[in-house]
Amino acid sequence: MTVSDLTAAVTTPVRRARTRHFVMTAPHHFAVEYAINPWMDPSVPVDVNHALRQWEALRDTYTQLGHTVEAVDPVAGLPDMVYAANGGLIVNDRAVVANFTFAQRAAEADAYAAWMAAAGHRPERTHHHNEGQGDLLVAGSTVLAGYGFRTDRRAHDEVAAITGLPVISLELIDPRFYHLDTALTVLSDGAEDGEVTLAYYPPAFSETALTQLRALFPTAIEVATADAFVLGLNAVSDGRHVILPVNATGFAEQLREAGFEPIGVDLSELLKGGGSIKCCTLEVHP
């Protein structure tokens, strides 16, 4: 061992996994029929069977790590329903159901509300648009909330009132990073060691948001453009294992250095809709 190996061994925190409860919706009806974000091009063909196989590999990765995956029934005619993260936010025994910005996705809210009700969560609606965990990420005992493209900033107050948790509003400024979960990942939520660890892509945020992030999370990992542009930040962490888009190799290396175990998964087919791993995964927080 060299001195720098020893220093790394002493300073790198031990990362502990916590068993998670995820909700996913299979892409049986996936398609790119409209363009509501810059990643979507309806002229590019989509292979539904390939999307399904890739999605199953993600689901199996979660179950092999010991996590619970609950399935929501996909609905024909709702091609974006595979992006289950957008269905709502479940935390602190409260459930907020999405209120989608675009008409093409509006009916997904009823499907997710029906699932929540059947699963014993009482879904509550917001007056203003909110796109669930696309923009509302639980970080320890606070909610980090994106706005600028989809979720209305005024919905942040509604979410705070419903969940009883403080909400930190962060403005997004680059249309390619239209949901908070395309620009920021919560790696460790503090449940184990009391410290929230994040990764984010600075250019996606307004100056004010960056000032807030740097003040609140001075040790966060800042991710490079190459990784952000393969939606590398659209990742899911259990506190130790970080399931991320396989092409985000630079971010994977940063994760390893920070004591996490990156696991690359290929969701190339679902990237055509502008989403990746986190988009396909709604976490039911305790």
Catalytic residues: 179, 279
From the CB of residue 8, how many other CB atoms can be counted at a distance below 10 Å? 13
Residues 175-234 that bind ligand ARG (CB under 6 A): 179, 181-182
In angstroms, give the least distance from the CB of 278 to ligand ARG.
6
Nearest distance, CB of residue 236 and ligand ARG, angstroms: 11
- Round to whole Å and give the CA distance between 177 and 65: 29
| Options 19-27, 81-89, 151-159, 204-212: segment touching ligand ARG (CB under 6 A) | 81-89
How would you list the strands of the sheet with 21-25, edge to edge?
Answer: 68-72, 21-25, 282-283
Q: Which of 275, 283, 284, 285 binds ligand ARG (CB under 6 A)?
A: 275
Nearest to 235 by CA among 209, 198, 203, 208: 198
Interaction with ligand ARG in 254-273: which residues (CB under 6 A)?
Answer: 273
Q: Please provide the distance, in angstroms rounded to a whole number, between the alpha carbons at the two ends of the chain.
A: 41
The token pair at 90 is 């479940």
Interacting span for ligand ARG (CB under 6 A) from 46-54, 80-88, 110-118, 241-249: 80-88
Q: Which of residues 15-54 bind ligand ARG (CB under 6 A)?
A: 36-37, 40
Which stretches does DSSP call E strand in 102-152?
123-124, 136-139, 142-147
Question: What is the C-alpha separation between 7 and 15, in angstroms, rounded?
Answer: 17
Beta carbons within 8 Å of 93's beta carbon, 6+ residues apart: none
Among 24, 233, 267, 279, binds ligand ARG (CB under 6 A): 279
Is residue 146 part of the contact set for ligand ARG (CB under 6 A)?
A: no
Q: Of 134, 146, 232, 245, which one interacts with ligand ARG (CB under 6 A)?
A: 134
Positions in the binding site for ligand ARG (CB under 6 A): 36-37, 40, 80, 83, 85-86, 105, 134, 179, 181-182, 273-275, 279
